[in-house]
Structure 1
Amino acid sequence: MKRLSSVLVILVLLILAACGEDKSDSNKENGNEDNQLKVAIIQQPSTFDPHMTSESIVRDTSVNVYETLITLNADYQPVTMLAESVDESEDGKVYTFKLREGVKFHNGKEMTSEDVLASMNRWKEKSPIARENLDTATFEATDEYTVVLNLEKSRLDTLELLAGQDYAPAIMPKEIIEEAGEEFVSEFIGTGPFKFEEWKQDQYIHLSAFEDYAAVDAPADGLSGKKEALVDDIYFYITKDTSTLLAGLQSGEFDIAGTSIGFNNYEIIKNDPNIDIYSAYFGTMNLVYNKKTGPFKDIKMREAVNIGLNVDDIMLSAFAYEELYKMNSSYINENVKNWYSEEGKEAYNQNDQEKAKQLIKEAGYDGEEIKLLTSRDIQYHYDIAVVVQEQLKQLGMNVKLEVYDWASHLEVRDNPDEWHLSTAGLNFATTPSQLVSLNPNWSGWLDDQKIPELMKSITEADSLEEGKALWDELQGYAWNEYLPLTQFGSVPVLLAARNNVEGLTIMDRPILMPLWNAEIK
């Protein structure tokens, strides 16, 4: 009996060992031997400082590291995050934020009102959206866990501004902000479920699970609710070639394609049984006019381009399949019910070349070179620019492509002497005041009195109904009388993941794909 028992014990141990080996081999096959999520992204962020940019890739990566006082739920409504509660005064001019206690930064320090005060004041200075809308507002810390926002006038959209994801009002330690001064922060420390570890330029960004993360005791809901780091590490691998990205996803080298997989790969991915494909919309694709210098200071030249372009051909050339993109004239996403508008749609996609040529003649255009700024780092930007160039040449314009890497593209776009037209993907906003294209401080240089006056009236309206009517008027005016840009339509983001990845939340921007609550089974 003793010998039989010994044999049984040995057999059980061998079986357990074999099971362990199988699990290890399986993990290695899936590239997850160390409980990692390996995410391929197609461009390198220009910074990891969310106060300083509206760049989508910065938000997509840094949203796992930084948090804000107020954030967005799955219905794109503002809800508390680092604030435990918020009280609004009867006149709408004072907001009192009670902070959650015991929330730690990634350096081990507890978050207090002094950190929030420093963060919000820096955000108010750096963000063009905050400068335009909250210029005269003041923040003050009244005790260790209370921050008060004082407004000169009440606004309809105060909490939406504080939940904005473009130039996000991320909360950072006071000392990190003071050390940065006027520059970008050099240490990336937040309160989120993952902490920053390393950024190897042009190779990867490494985040790791934050063991002391203070989760909210509420169901996960958009960017709000409970967040759990269910993997030990996240690696964002910068993979600029879509063929390499696709091959890596198919082989298991990557778990997730965290930026678009390339629209020409749609059928391949859709038919791969090991991969799940997700489609969402990040915002709108546009042609921005430089209204400060050059030929497009003249509204007739802007109208000529807008009237003469064949938007159907432009969108199809970039996104390959009609089922992927949306022809759309609204500046606000259709999911944001309070502000979606169809005003001005009669000016959209007119495709009238003869009328365009007549306007060019009336404008007195003499054939001067027109610089069209774009980047090949985002392929559909370049594809769109090529088609726009050809269509404008057919109208008689002398258009030259100015092609840069993405970081240089953003830098050049801030210089009005370097370009006349620019491709631009603009993120969806949850209120009109967050639309950078209607902000005088943004590239393109809005030079119009009526738009900021209407925007001010919207934010100071007594009711949502009144504000919505004013927004309808503004969008109609922008399309029919001013034309800060020509909008082409809603741009898809094709995301994909190996089918052993579970728990991904995928939504239209500004939420898209946070990586907390995701894991590999």
Structure 2
Amino acid sequence: MNGRNILIFIMAIILLSILGCSQSNDSTKENDETQVAENTDAELKIAITSQPTTLDVHTTGDALTRDVAIHIYETLITLNADYQPVPMLAESVEKSEDGKTYTFKLREGVQFHNGKEMKAEDVLASMNRWKERSTIAQEHLHDAAFETQDDYTVVLQLQNPRLDLLDLLAGQDFFPAIMPKEIIEDAGDDFVKEYVGTGPFQFVDWLQDQYVHLARFDDYTFDDSPADGLAGKKEALVKDLYFYKTQDPSTLLTGLQTGEFDIAYSIAFDHYDQVKNDPNFNVYSAYFGTMNLVYNKKEGLFSDVKMRQAVNAALNASDIMLGAFASEELYGFGSSYMNEKVVNWYSEAGQEGFNQNNTEKAKQLLEEAGYNGEEITLLSNRDIPYHYDIAVIVQEQLNQLGMNVNLEVFDWAAHIERRDDPDYWDIVTAGINYPAVPSTLVSLAPNWPGWTDDTKIAGLLEEIISSDSLSEGKEKWDELQGYAWTEYVPFTQFGSVPIIMAAKSSIEGLQVMDRPIMMPLWNTKVNEE
């Protein structure tokens, strides 16, 4: 082969290589485009342990209602990944110098699922109904007045300034969803008859005791800022969401393994290792709140603070949590009443009162209280296994101290009925959900079982609310939590309890956060397996 022919041969090889690469790249691009198209038509089948009580979020703090409804409804203000309040349907918020007037400028062009544009009249109707129906709004914002200024401006007037006002409006228990005015008017004093919001998914169907079906809302007008908790960009990357009621833990696990479900909202702790070690799944933990021993402070033995201090000093929280959950991977451990991820309110104040395991101190306090072997009724239930396991360990620890503890166990409904009756029990196992702000921590409320009716706690909560700055409010919260742990002792906290969730490894973009946010399913896509 002469030099000219060699040059032609080399050029031909290069040309073929270029053509080959080009075809390969075009093919890959076509495959990628095909995959994206296929993924946008995908559906997610989610197993949940029960069905929601309703999807009328103004009327209930039910966790499953919230977990489904956050895909349908949006609020003026929402929570970012640090659990801080930020605008959502409000484009901006202005607060007056005296802190009593808030002006919300609404985003324009936001569409409801029924095709109507959201305007101030819808926000006014929604917020007024929320004020009337939500127990949180009734307790904290009964004196608030909403009014419209124009089609895209709503004003909130308070009698007194509140440091936590925006936190309350961003709250996810009984959350203030914005709905069309006519749907609210049609509901009257009843539940809303149509579930229409502005979220990335719209309600399609609810087959009782089987599933709730939501579908992508193609006209959703999302915020283009980066996704951040419940704020920012929310894009429906799948076509349908099906939330299937699946109460039996074994059925849930089998359904996940066979592909009947793509996501499971609550894996039984007994199945944790099995799912964790399966390469077909990704496993997530999200803390919903804390596990506690609550004292009946309204009447009986534990209306005496020294009795509460004695039990709190005696209990070994490390042994209690490990005994109930078997693995340190399955629980959190700490003294803060607020989730550590709630950056504005996390506190370590009073931690010297946590997990003391000090029997000598406990015996001295029992003597000072004049305890003489009277029977103590410990109330618990078997429906939530770790409630029962914790109760058994608490009973054993206190009996070893010389206390006479009688454990009474019921099903969940009977347990709740008796828990509400101060004549029935002395101490009770209780889970307490994490709030986004201290003022809504139910265990510090005088009307919640345990009946924390204390002048200093009430006064400090009021000072927190009326503080001029977050730093001032945080100082008061530190003081309150320190006082609660070391002096008043409304309850004894053992640790944080997770919900274990699992998803197929083909699912990407899943955002899992602690309560009160949990697992929003926008920005989540399904890859080909």
Structure 2 residue 91 is the aligned partner of structure 1 residue 84: yes
Q: Letter of the aligned partner of 2:75 in structure 1?
A: T
What aligned pairs does 1:1-400 form with structure 2 within 5 A after superposition? 35-259=42-266, 261-353=267-359, 355-356=361-362, 359-360=365-366, 362=369, 364=371, 367-368=374-375, 370=377, 372-374=379-381, 376=383, 378-394=384-400, 395-400=402-407
Tell me the distance in 1 between the aligned counterparts of 2:501 and 2:149: 44
Partner residue in 2 for 1:13: none
Partner residue in 1 for 2:429: 423
Q: Letter of the aligned partner of 2:203 in structure 1?
A: F
Q: Letter of the aligned partner of 2:411 in structure 1?
A: Y
- For the 8 Å contact 1:86–1:97, the answer to whether it is kept is yes
CA distance 1:138–1:80, shift in 2 (3 Å): same
- Structure 1 residue 315 displacement after superposition: 1.1
Residue 513 of structure 1: which of 500, 516, 519 is its match?
519
Tell me the distance in 2 between the aligned counterparts of 1:409 and 1:194: 37
Instruction: Encode CA deviations 1:102-146: one digit per residue, 9 max, x unaligned.
Output: 323334443322332232223333434333332322222222322
Tell me the distance in 1 between the aligned counterparts of 2:358 and 2:523: 50
CA distance 1:253–1:291, shift in 2 (3 Å): same
Partner residue in 2 for 1:9: none
CA distance 1:444–1:501, shift in 2 (3 Å): same
**2:329 counterpart SS class:** coil
Tell me the distance in 2 between the aligned counterparts of 1:429 and 1:37: 28
**2:328 counterpart SS class:** coil
- Structure 1 residue 416 displacement after superposition: 4.3
Tell me the distance in 2 between the aligned counterparts of 1:363 and 1:180: 57
Partner residue in 2 for 1:487: 493
- Structure 1 residue 248 displacement after superposition: 1.7
- Structure 1 residue 179 displacement after superposition: 4.8
CA distance 1:107–1:409, shift in 2 (3 Å): farther
- For the 8 Å contact 2:82–2:343, the answer to whether it is kept is no
Query: Identity of paired residues, percent?
Result: 62
- For the 8 Å contact 1:99–1:145, the answer to whether it is kept is yes
- Structure 1 residue 155 displacement after superposition: 2.5
- For the 8 Å contact 1:155–1:461, the answer to whether it is kept is yes
CA distance 1:187–1:409, shift in 2 (3 Å): farther
| Structure 1 residue runs without a partner (length 5+) | 1-18
Instruction: Encode CA deviations 1:69-101: one digit per residue, 9 max, x unaligned.
Output: 100112222111111221111222211011223
CA distance 1:296–1:198, shift in 2 (3 Å): farther
CA distance 1:184–1:286, shift in 2 (3 Å): farther
Q: Letter of the aligned partner of 1:500 in structure 2?
A: S
- Structure 1 residue 410 displacement after superposition: 5.2
Q: More displaced, 160-169 or 184-193? A: 184-193
- Structure 1 residue 504 displacement after superposition: 0.7
Aligned-residue Cα RMSD (Å) equals: 3.0
- Structure 1 residue 324 displacement after superposition: 3.4
Tell me the distance in 2 between the aligned counterparts of 1:76 and 1:355: 38
Partner residue in 2 for 1:15: none
Instruction: Encode CA deviations 1:427-458: one digit per residue, 9 max, x unaligned.
Output: 32332223222233434322111112111111
CA distance 1:225–1:375, shift in 2 (3 Å): farther
Tell me the distance in 1 between the aligned counterparts of 2:353 and 2:245: 39
Tell me the distance in 1 between the aligned counterparts of 2:309 and 2:92: 48
CA distance 1:214–1:94, shift in 2 (3 Å): same
- Structure 1 residue 360 displacement after superposition: 5.0
CA distance 1:39–1:470, shift in 2 (3 Å): same
Tell me the distance in 2 between the aligned counterparts of 1:293 and 1:46: 33
- For the 8 Å contact 1:65–1:196, the answer to whether it is kept is yes
- For the 8 Å contact 2:92–2:105, the answer to whether it is kept is yes
- For the 8 Å contact 1:128–1:439, the answer to whether it is kept is no
Larger Rg: 2
Tell me the distance in 1 between the aligned counterparts of 2:426 and 2:54: 26
Structure 2 residue 424 is the aligned partner of structure 1 residue 404: no
CA distance 1:387–1:205, shift in 2 (3 Å): farther
**1:167 counterpart SS class:** coil
Instruction: Encode CA deviations 1:387-432: one digit per residue, 9 max, x unaligned.
Output: 3344444453343334334x67556654545554443332323322
- Structure 1 residue 150 displacement after superposition: 1.1
Tell me the distance in 1 between the aligned counterparts of 2:190 and 2:415: 20
Q: More displaced, 481-490 or 49-58? A: 49-58
- Structure 1 residue 169 displacement after superposition: 1.8
Partner residue in 2 for 1:10: none
Q: Letter of the aligned partner of 2:214 in structure 1?
A: L
CA distance 1:108–1:419, shift in 2 (3 Å): farther
- Structure 1 residue 462 displacement after superposition: 2.4
Residue 438 of structure 1: which of 444, 453, 462 is its match?
444
Tell me the distance in 2 between the aligned counterparts of 1:200 and 1:416: 39
CA distance 1:359–1:53, shift in 2 (3 Å): farther
TM-score, with length taken from structure 1: 0.85
- For the 8 Å contact 1:132–1:439, the answer to whether it is kept is no
Tell me the distance in 2 between the aligned counterparts of 1:81 and 1:165: 14
Partner residue in 1 for 2:20: none
- Structure 1 residue 184 displacement after superposition: 4.5
CA distance 1:464–1:36, shift in 2 (3 Å): same
- For the 8 Å contact 1:375–1:409, the answer to whether it is kept is no
Tell me the distance in 2 between the aligned counterparts of 1:354 and 1:171: 56
- For the 8 Å contact 2:74–2:178, the answer to whether it is kept is yes
TM-score, with length taken from structure 2: 0.84
CA distance 1:174–1:305, shift in 2 (3 Å): farther
**2:443 counterpart SS class:** helix
- Structure 1 residue 272 displacement after superposition: 0.8
- For the 8 Å contact 2:289–2:431, the answer to whether it is kept is yes
- For the 8 Å contact 2:40–2:238, the answer to whether it is kept is no
CA distance 1:465–1:271, shift in 2 (3 Å): same
Tell me the distance in 2 between the aligned counterparts of 1:184 and 1:90: 38
CA distance 1:201–1:379, shift in 2 (3 Å): farther
- Structure 1 residue 363 displacement after superposition: 5.1
Partner residue in 2 for 1:447: 453
Structure 2 residue 478 is the aligned partner of structure 1 residue 472: yes
